[in-house]
């Protein structure tokens, strides 16, 4: 599945407001879908790169050698889910912002895991 198809698939997840694919080594957003005036995916992707890098540094400082699967940020009205993975040695994450009242976190996690597994770059 290519990037455009992967992001369209992410937007079919219940409650999806916006999605992006990010190279978190460079901070470059490789693609996005959804978003809008109230959800700037460029800003969100850059900020989430900082979150991912900070968490990785924290785990390293703690001596925890496990990889991060997901990072979940809960807001009053939204969920923000970050799914980390590598493709061809490139560290990537899928970012999905969801309306909290329409989202199902278990299904969203499963959906992003499936998309990440099937993504071809």
Q: For the CA atoms of 77, 109, 8, 73, what is the dihedral angle to 10 degrees?
A: 30
Do the Cβ atoms of 19 and 101 come closer than 8 Å?
A: no
DSSP 50-64: HHHHHHHHHHHHHT-
Residue 40 lies in domain: 3-118
Number of domains into which the chain is organized: 1
Phi, psi of 35 (to 5 degrees): 80, -150
The two tokens of residue 76 are: 């009053």
Q: What is the pLDDT of residues 40-75, one digit of tens each?
A: 999 999 999 999 999 999 999 999 999 999 999 999
CATH number at residue 79: 3.30.450.30
Tens-of-pLDDT digits for all 121 residues of the chain?
999 999 999 999 999 999 999 999 888 999 999 998 889 999 999 999 999 999 999 999 999 999 999 999 999 999 999 999 999 888 999 999 999 999 999 999 999 999 999 999 8
């Amino acid at each position: 599945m290519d990037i455009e198809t992967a992001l369209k698939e992410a937007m079919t997840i219940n409650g999806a407001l916006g999605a992006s694919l990010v190279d978190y080594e460079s901070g470059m957003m490789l693609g996005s879908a959804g978003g809008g005036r109230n959800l700037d995916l460029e800003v969100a992707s850059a900020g989430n790169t900082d979150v991912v890098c900070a968490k990785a540094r924290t785990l390293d400082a703690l001596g925890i050698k496990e990889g991060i699967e997901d990072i979940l940020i809960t807001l009053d009205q939204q969920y923000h889910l970050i799914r980390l993975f590598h493709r061809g040695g490139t560290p990537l994450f899928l970012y999905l912002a969801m309306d909290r009242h329409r989202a199902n976190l278990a299904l969203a996690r499963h959906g992003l895991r499936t998309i990440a597994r099937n993504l071809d770059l």
